[in-house]
Amino acid sequence: MTEFFRPSGRAPAQLRGIHITRRYTKHAEGSVLVECGDTKVICTASVAEKVPFHVKGSGAGWLTAEYGMLPRATHTRGDREAARGKQSGRTQEIQRLIGRSLRAAVDLAKLGERTIHIDCDVIQADGGTRTASITGAWVAVHDAVEWLIKEGRLPETVMRDHVAAVSVGIYKGVPVLDLDYAEDSDCDTDMNVVMTGSDGIIEVQGTAEGEPFSRTELDDLLDLAQAGIEQLIHEQRQALQS
Amino acid sequence: MTEFFRPSGRAPAQLRGIHITRRYTKHAEGSVLVECGDTKVICTASVAEKVPFHVKGSGAGWLTAEYGMLPRATHTRGDREAARGKQSGRTQEIQRLIGRSLRAAVDLAKLGERTIHIDCDVIQADGGTRTASITGAWVAVHDAVEWLIKEGRLPETVMRDHVAAVSVGIYKGVPVLDLDYAEDSDCDTDMNVVMTGSDGIIEVQGTAEGEPFSRTELDDLLDLAQAGIEQLIHEQRQALQS
Amino acid sequence: MTEFFRPSGRAPAQLRGIHITRRYTKHAEGSVLVECGDTKVICTASVAEKVPFHVKGSGAGWLTAEYGMLPRATHTRGDREAARGKQSGRTQEIQRLIGRSLRAAVDLAKLGERTIHIDCDVIQADGGTRTASITGAWVAVHDAVEWLIKEGRLPETVMRDHVAAVSVGIYKGVPVLDLDYAEDSDCDTDMNVVMTGSDGIIEVQGTAEGEPFSRTELDDLLDLAQAGIEQLIHEQRQALQS
Amino acid sequence: MTEFFRPSGRAPAQLRGIHITRRYTKHAEGSVLVECGDTKVICTASVAEKVPFHVKGSGAGWLTAEYGMLPRATHTRGDREAARGKQSGRTQEIQRLIGRSLRAAVDLAKLGERTIHIDCDVIQADGGTRTASITGAWVAVHDAVEWLIKEGRLPETVMRDHVAAVSVGIYKGVPVLDLDYAEDSDCDTDMNVVMTGSDGIIEVQGTAEGEPFSRTELDDLLDLAQAGIEQLIHEQRQALQS
Amino acid sequence: MTEFFRPSGRAPAQLRGIHITRRYTKHAEGSVLVECGDTKVICTASVAEKVPFHVKGSGAGWLTAEYGMLPRATHTRGDREAARGKQSGRTQEIQRLIGRSLRAAVDLAKLGERTIHIDCDVIQADGGTRTASITGAWVAVHDAVEWLIKEGRLPETVMRDHVAAVSVGIYKGVPVLDLDYAEDSDCDTDMNVVMTGSDGIIEVQGTAEGEPFSRTELDDLLDLAQAGIEQLIHEQRQALQS
Amino acid sequence: MTEFFRPSGRAPAQLRGIHITRRYTKHAEGSVLVECGDTKVICTASVAEKVPFHVKGSGAGWLTAEYGMLPRATHTRGDREAARGKQSGRTQEIQRLIGRSLRAAVDLAKLGERTIHIDCDVIQADGGTRTASITGAWVAVHDAVEWLIKEGRLPETVMRDHVAAVSVGIYKGVPVLDLDYAEDSDCDTDMNVVMTGSDGIIEVQGTAEGEPFSRTELDDLLDLAQAGIEQLIHEQRQALQS
């Protein structure tokens, strides 16, 4: 493996540089710019004092997410989904994943009849936008919950645990952590993993792009992901100090 | 675990009865009714002698899938997506999964510049409609490829391997195989696994509905899924004799 | 007329074989598979305990219908209307016809403030899908009404009369009953007739595809249709014995 | 029947006053304002030198129709379909009927590879808007064909025959001709009939609104319609003199 | 400037002939046909006894406008927006302008919790359809308010002032009033001005189509517009006598 | 006027602090973050080597613009237009204005058959987002044109002049420059002005929100705007040094 080089020059188990900026925009209750290498996502958490129909009357709250990409976040300009009049299947899949992942981070029963709306908007894309969105959105949700406590609307935190996400894949036969765009485009297997601060698994989504993968490869990928997520959660903790 | 009972009365590692009927409708090149317990899906494979823009000129073929549910396939009537004017995020997620899974079964480079359209329409739902769709669609695609050979349009088969899928989950703390609706609704973790006839993994999608799950639980679920898929592929082989 | 042959080989006044299967799927209050030759339609009747805005407060009930075709119900695959994002004019015309026809079969004033939703989904098409839908949906509605009685929600039946439908047309100059696809495609005049069990006319829709037709031809077609509908209603009665 | 009064005060077999104004707007190749009593429709025929995909290359032409209502053409303001983002089922049904009816009036094979677009826009509605549209659109199409001849693009007329339409219905038990809105709203059976100048039937669409109707009633309605259409065609001929 | 000729032959400061017909259609509370040269627009004002969500409970009323063009109002047939499924940006811009302009004419606080819906439908277009719509809609709104007074629903008028509009532009270097289509298509600068009966400005929208324009040119255009609007308001007053 | 205070504390003729960051994201040919006080907009210019249908074959190029707002760019979260499935009238109006304004800055005839797509995405809103978009987009377009020159695709610049925009309004009776959100919400008259580097007017859009405004007030507002735009163009020039 001495001759193995990732396009990024990183070691197989090496994350990209991550930077989390809190209070990035001024209106949202939680607002974060998350940067994973060249991938940059604005994650906001907005509090609304109402809940969707399906939880109304239950006393519990709700959390939902939307995801978008600026048309020129990518190498070539993509269609603006608002202009085309509908969100792609990919967009819907991603925002459903973000919502599920963050609902696992919050004790909705104690949130009260209110909704936290997460918006993840990619302003620059270089692979891993959905996992960066989850990692950043966790901080935005945390800040929105802190705001609710400061406002006297919640007696104590409703955050159950950290939640962060990373992608892993098999690149030229080698399991690698945190794929950037160049690696992702040329990858046999791509897996997104979402985990908690106590090594609980929230979501595993692995897809063989070309050849099927084996149980052994799956195990290697999960090991890499777990180590990466531990570092990401460390970054989240650092950001909360700021 | 002596007092453990699944609502279906099945043992934890027991599949539902499966029945695959080929040539179910008369117009499609491949047409299959797949029944997994009370879940019934019509899977057709239609051949079109053109390819979408993104593969045009490459000499290769394409395979794509659509999924739908009759409005009253379920306990309470759902909206008809055609009347509502759009497909739900869930529908799009499922049809993307079916398409990816079956593309792994076919050597697209050898298919020629033609498209196989899969349609999976659920006429009765009792859990596991997406995995039943994949298992049934494989047979429909197989039959469409046989038809192409018989028509003299393909010199030999382009099927690379069997592909089948099953759901597994943790029901009341116990890993179980092939969840029906009652079990799925009351389940902590739900995972869909798609594998080939040679134990290669095509797709793993596991979601913690309530509590996060551990690596050990993930391993147990994958073991169950692998055993179940082996049986499903046995059923596919049986159906091809008919 | 000795040299006259219908593609189907049937006599001009001969119906296709009809088969009505009740309780075809398990969730709907009424669920019927109706087969008219190779045309196969799943007709379900679903009961909802609410009414649309325009009858709210009147004490009366409502009945409405939706119609769809699986994409590969036909010789060549058609677009999935849910994917295209709208129902065609043809689909809307057909579902409005089914709704009007079945409303004539039910005493809505006595139904109470509830709605019967009919869904007619064509799984295999060979001409006459809208008339088969009406004939089959009548049985599904009947079964849903029986279910309401058995549930104690209705004191007695609200069915006013049988309703069935058939197509007639002028094929190569000869009035014929119950056109299949081959006949329909090559037909000068096409008429759909909906009648009750007591020879009352609910709907007549006749269209000259090529040459206009005369009053005499119209009369011949109506005679054929009336005889055909009497047989179809006989089949409905038989099915209710099962 | 001496005590029978129609709300309009007309005799059962009496048409409303009809007025046809040619060259009503200046841009269209054919432009007609048709007034049937208080129902007023602008019918234009526009020529385009191309044909839709399904006739391309056949050498034949095409004719298609669209229909709309100004939002306040009616007693209470209706939604603007352009604002709502879709045409109602009723609108689609009507425009399909207008298109079919006028295609029967034109020898499309001789029209050449061009399309005549009919637009029928109701500026004031008082019942019978679809039949007035057909009667008026025939004159607009005639004028567009004359324009093609004058332009040297057609050697001779391609009009095959007159086509006009009228509604008939059973009002308080009596068959009446040409229903206005008050009569239509309170009518048991409503039938629209489209016929040619030589008494050929193009389309018959009869619907029992309340009670089913009998063959005898159907015959009476068809007699009324035929007499009415003869008068309408007389009005078309008069208009062509102007 | 002796050799300057407008295509219309009018002097630079000359309006087209204007004609305002009140009570043009019979159902609307206010209904006006406004003709500015060959531009003809039906403007109706409809009263609804409810208000949109954003003014509910305020005691005030609301006024909103919609705009449309018959497909063949123009030289070549345009798409029907209802068929295409959405209104163009141009249509939305125009109807927002009409709404804002007429809201300035009405004391909404005194209108009570009701809405006036304006519909402006162009039946023939020859330039200046949006300004003709505003000038005509003012009369329709006036008549709807008079109707409310006559019905006893308003104690006195809520009209604050006249409002009318005109376009001005720089045609071949010369500022001209009231552009028709030929002039508008060949014009460097195009400005729409909306003013009250007391020379107050409601809206100014000036756009350089080719070269930017100067402050001096802007001043000349505003002078022309003011003079033109005074004449238009004179015509409105005349119409109210009829 | 000694007691006059703008909420922002600025003098009537004082702009907000403006900051222009070039090369803000890495993929676009021109990418700018423009900050006018708390209003922050990402403006990108993307080059595509094709033109829309209406200029095809003319040898000239095209420039078009799209505009969007992140859902939580504002005080309360707005709907995501991509999720709602259509762009609002306001959005369409703004993107049409941006497109027109920037087309005036570029010699399209010399651009060649290519399109410059501008995307203006507001990440934080505090009034004046459309004018900030124009001012920032000019720099992005400039940079995209420089890129084309550097790539050897254009021999020389096709920029005709600077273009910048500002809002002005009458706040509590006093004409003020560059309204922020608090001022805009409480303003009688609101005008957006777009001008070139040589004091040519591209667009003037003035609207009376409450009372109509006079010619004198209009003149004062235009004076303020002209002075403000001169400063903004000075900032553009500064940014080009960086």
Q: How many domains, in total, are found in chain A?
A: 1
pLDDT band at F188 (very low <50, low <70, confident <90, very high): confident
Residue burial E49-62, b: 16+ Cβ < 10 Å; e: rest: eebeeeeeeeebbb
DSSP string, chain B: -TT---TT---TTPPPPEEEEES-SSSSSEEEEEEETTEEEEEEEEEES---GGGTTSS--EEEEEEEE-TTSSSSPPPPHHHHTS--HHHHHHHHHHHHHHHTTB-HHHH-S-EEEEEEEEEE-SS-HHHHHHHHHHHHHHHHHHHHHHTTS-SS--B-S-EEEEEEEEETTEEEES--HHHHTT-SEEEEEEEETTS-EEEEEEEESSS-B-HHHHHHHHHHHHHHHHHHHHHHHHHHH-
Rg (CA), chain E: 18
Which tokens hold the place of D10? 């007309």
Residue with tokens 């985990």: A195
Average pLDDT, chain F: 95
Q: Contact A70/F26, CB-based, under 8 Å? A: no
Q: What is the pLDDT of residues C113-123, one digit of tens each?
A: 999 999 999 99
* Alpha carbon distance, N-terminus to C-terminus of chain F: 40
Question: CA dihedral defined by C212, C215, C219, C220, rounded to 10 degrees?
Answer: -50
Which tokens hold the place of F60? 């000239």
Q: How far apart, in whole angstroms, are the C-alpha atoms of residue B68 and residue C81? A: 10
Neighbours of F142 (CB within 10 A): 23
Q: What is the pLDDT of residues F58-81, one digit of tens each?
A: 999 999 999 999 999 999 999 999
ipTM of the complex: 0.95
pLDDT computed for residue B188 by the predictor: 85
Q: How far apart, in whole angstroms, are the C-alpha atoms of residue B27 and residue B47? A: 11
Q: How far apart, in whole angstroms, are the C-alpha atoms of residue D161 and residue D200? A: 10
- CA–CA min distance B47, chain C (Å): 9
Q: For chain C, what percentages of helix, strand and coil (3-state, to nearest 5) are there?
A: 35, 30, 35
Does the pLDDT at position C130 exceed 50?
yes
Which residues in F lie closer than 8 A to residue E200 (C-beta atoms)? 208, 211-214
Strand order in the sheet with F62-69: F18-22, F30-36, F39-48, F115-124, F62-69
pLDDT band at D1 (very low <50, low <70, confident <90, very high): very low
Q: How far apart, in whole angstroms, are the C-alpha atoms of residue D82 and residue D22? A: 28
Burial class (CB in 10 A: 0-12, 13-18, 19+), A159: middle
* Percent of residues, chain E, with pLDDT higher than 90: 93
Which among A27, A28, A82 is the nearest to F87, CB-wise? Answer: A82
Q: Which letter does DSSP use for residue E87 in this model?
A: -
Q: Contact B72/C31, CB-based, under 8 Å? A: yes
Which residues in A lie closer than 8 A to residue B202 (C-beta atoms)? 207-208, 212
Which among C96, C200, C213 is the nearest to D89, CB-wise? Answer: C96
User: Number of H helices and number of E strands within chain E?
Assistant: 6, 9
Which among C198, C208, C222 is the nearest to D202, CB-wise? Answer: C208
Q: What is the pLDDT of residues A19-61, one digit of tens each?
A: 999 999 999 999 999 999 999 999 999 999 999 999 999 999 9
Does the pLDDT at position F158 exceed 90?
yes
Q: Contact B124/C38, CB-based, under 8 Å? A: no
pLDDT band at F83 (very low <50, low <70, confident <90, very high): very high
Q: How far apart, in whole angstroms, are the C-alpha atoms of residue F195 and residue B144? A: 64
Give a yes or no: residue D211 inside a domain: yes
Give the residues of chain B that fall short of pLDDT 50: 1
- CA–CA min distance C47, chain B (Å): 9
* Alpha carbon distance, N-terminus to C-terminus of chain C: 40
Q: Contact A42/F85, CB-based, under 8 Å? A: no
Neighbours of E77 (CB within 10 A): 21
pLDDT band at D36 (very low <50, low <70, confident <90, very high): very high
F129 is in an annotated binding site: yes
Chain B: residue nearest C116 by CA? B77
CA distances from F164 to A147, F65, F133, F201 (A): 39, 15, 9, 10
Rg (CA), chain D: 18
> Is-contact D55 D61, C-beta < 8 A?
yes
Q: Contact A72/F44, CB-based, under 8 Å? A: yes
pLDDT computed for residue B1 by the predictor: 44
Average pLDDT, chain A: 95
Q: Which residues touch A127 (CB under 8 Å, ≥6 apart)? A: A37, A39, A167, A179, A180, A181, A182, A183, A184
The CB-side HSE value for E114 (13 A sphere, CA atoms) comes to: 17
Q: Which residues touch A26 (CB under 8 Å, ≥6 apart)? A: F38, F124
What CATH number corresponds to the domain at position C161?
Answer: 3.30.230.70
φ, ψ for residue E228 (rounded to 5)? Answer: -65, -45
C6 is in an annotated binding site: no
Which residues in C lie closer than 8 A to residue B44 (C-beta atoms)? 70-72
Q: Contact E72/D26, CB-based, under 8 Å? A: no
CA distances from A48 to A60, D219, F125 (A): 13, 65, 19
pLDDT band at A187 (very low <50, low <70, confident <90, very high): confident
Q: How far apart, in whole angstroms, are the C-alpha atoms of residue C212 and residue F29? A: 64
Amino acid at residue number E29: E
Which among A77, A80, A91 is the nearest to F68, CB-wise? Answer: A80
Give a yes or no: residue E6 inside a domain: no
pLDDT computed for residue C200 by the predictor: 96
pTM of the model: 0.94
Q: Contact D123/E124, CB-based, under 8 Å? A: no
Give a yes or no: residue F11 inside a domain: no
Q: How far apart, in whole angstroms, are the C-alpha atoms of residue D201 and residue B73? A: 43
Residue with tokens 């799925």: B184
Which residues in C lie closer than 8 A to residue D65 (C-beta atoms)? none
Chain F: residue nearest E196 by CA? F212
pLDDT band at A5 (very low <50, low <70, confident <90, very high): confident
pLDDT computed for residue B209 by the predictor: 81
Q: What is the pLDDT of residues C30-89, one digit of tens each?
A: 999 999 999 999 999 999 999 999 999 999 999 999 999 999 999 999 999 999 999 999
Give a yes or no: residue D234 inside a domain: yes
Q: Contact C199/D214, CB-based, under 8 Å? A: yes
Chain F: residue nearest A86 by CA? F85
pLDDT band at F94 (very low <50, low <70, confident <90, very high): very high
Give a yes or no: residue F102 inside a domain: yes
Give a yes or no: residue F5 inside a domain: no
Which among B90, B100, B214 is the nearest to A207, CB-wise? Answer: B100
Q: What is the mean pLDDT of residues E201-215?
A: 93
Phi-psi sector, E41: left (phi>0), alpha (psi -120 to 50), beta: beta
Q: What is the pLDDT of residues E57-79, one digit of tens each?
A: 999 999 999 999 999 999 999 99
> Among candidates E241, E232, E219, which has minimal Cα distance to E19?
E232
E160 is in an annotated binding site: no
Q: How far apart, in whole angstroms, are the C-alpha atoms of residue B185 and residue B182? A: 5
> Is-contact F102 F86, C-beta < 8 A?
no
Which residues in D lie closer than 8 A to residue E86 (C-beta atoms)? 82, 85
Q: Which residues touch F23 (CB under 8 Å, ≥6 apart)? A: F31, F143
Q: How far apart, in whole angstroms, are the C-alpha atoms of residue B165 and residue E100? A: 59
pLDDT computed for residue E3 by the predictor: 61
Helix/strand/coil for D71:
helix
Phi-psi sector, F138: left (phi>0), alpha (psi -120 to 50), beta: alpha
> Is-contact C183 C169, C-beta < 8 A?
yes
> Is-contact D116 D141, C-beta < 8 A?
yes
pLDDT computed for residue A188 by the predictor: 85
Q: How far apart, in whole angstroms, are the C-alpha atoms of residue A162 and residue A104? A: 9
Q: How far apart, in whole angstroms, are the C-alpha atoms of residue D79 and residue B85? A: 18
Does the pLDDT at position F1 exceed 80?
no
Q: How far apart, in whole angstroms, are the C-alpha atoms of residue A130 and residue A121? A: 10
Q: Are strands C30-36 and C39-48 parallel, antiparallel or unpaired?
A: antiparallel
Q: What is the pLDDT of residues E18-41, one digit of tens each?
A: 999 999 999 999 999 999 999 999
- Residue D19 C-alpha from the chain's centroid: 14
Residue burial B181-219, b: 16+ Cβ < 10 Å; e: rest: bebbeebbbbbbbbbbbeebbbbbbbbbbeebbeeebbe
> Is-contact F164 F238, C-beta < 8 A?
no
φ, ψ for residue C124 (rounded to 5)? Answer: -150, 130
Give a yes or no: residue C5 inside a domain: no
pLDDT computed for residue C3 by the predictor: 61
Domain containing E150: what range?
18-241
Give a yes or no: residue D2 inside a domain: no
Which among A96, A199, A202 is the nearest to B93, CB-wise? Answer: A96
> Is-contact F82 A122, C-beta < 8 A?
no
Chain B: residue nearest A210 by CA? B104
Does the pLDDT at position A1 exceed 50?
no
Helix/strand/coil for E59:
coil
